[in-house]
Amino acid sequence: MRVRVAVTLMTVLLLLYVVLAGQRALILVTSGEPVAIAMGVALIVLPLLALWAIGRELWFGVRAQQLGERLDAEGGLPDEDLPVRPSGRIEREDGDALFPRYRADVEANPDDWRARYRLALAYDAAGDRRRARSAVRTAIRLESTERRAG
């Protein structure tokens, strides 16, 4: 819940920034001076890029959550009860121990989005966020392909 509040707050603040920057950009673009026009264009383009990036991340989060909820409803989430730190994170050594099992599942079922999602959870438990995100992206792509074919 705290994450959703933080994401919403950051998105609202970004939208406020885009509006304020857009107003300044219009003033600069209509000034007629070449340097001011260039700065005005930059003030329009850069916030739009930020909006695109945040939109992409929000969509990734929504899709990842949807797949997690679907997998949970199917009873397909890992059921290991691992010890956690006071912060709530899984102990890294225990997360590393899970990894071979889920990697083998993906190797046996390379087109199964469920196996990829479970592998992403194992990567996350092992502290490898980059690979976890990559595995979730692959799971999202595979699930979308399955749904379209389906």
At residue 90, what are phi and psi to the nearest 5 degrees? -70, 145
Q: What is the pLDDT of residues 57-92, one digit of tens each?
A: 989 999 999 999 999 999 998 877 766 677 667 777
117-137: average pLDDT = 90
Q: Tokens 């989060």 belong to which residue?
A: 61
DSSP state, residue 139: H
> What percentage of the chain exceeds 90 in pLDDT?
51
pLDDT at 62: 93
Q: Tokens 């992403």 belong to which residue?
A: 120
**Cα 19 to chain centroid, rounded:** 25
pLDDT at 135: 96
Note the CATH number of domain 92-149.
1.25.40.10
Least confident of 19-28, 69-78, 96-105: 96-105
Burial degree of 122 (CB within 10 A; 0-12, 13-18, 19+): buried
Which has more confidence, 143 or 101? 143
pLDDT at 3: 80
**Tokens linked to 39:** 């700065």
Asked if residue 22 has pLDDT above 90, the reply is: no
Question: Could you state, in order of their start, the residue ranges of all structural domains in the chain?
Answer: 2-73, 92-149
From first CA to last CA, the distance across the chain in angstroms is 33
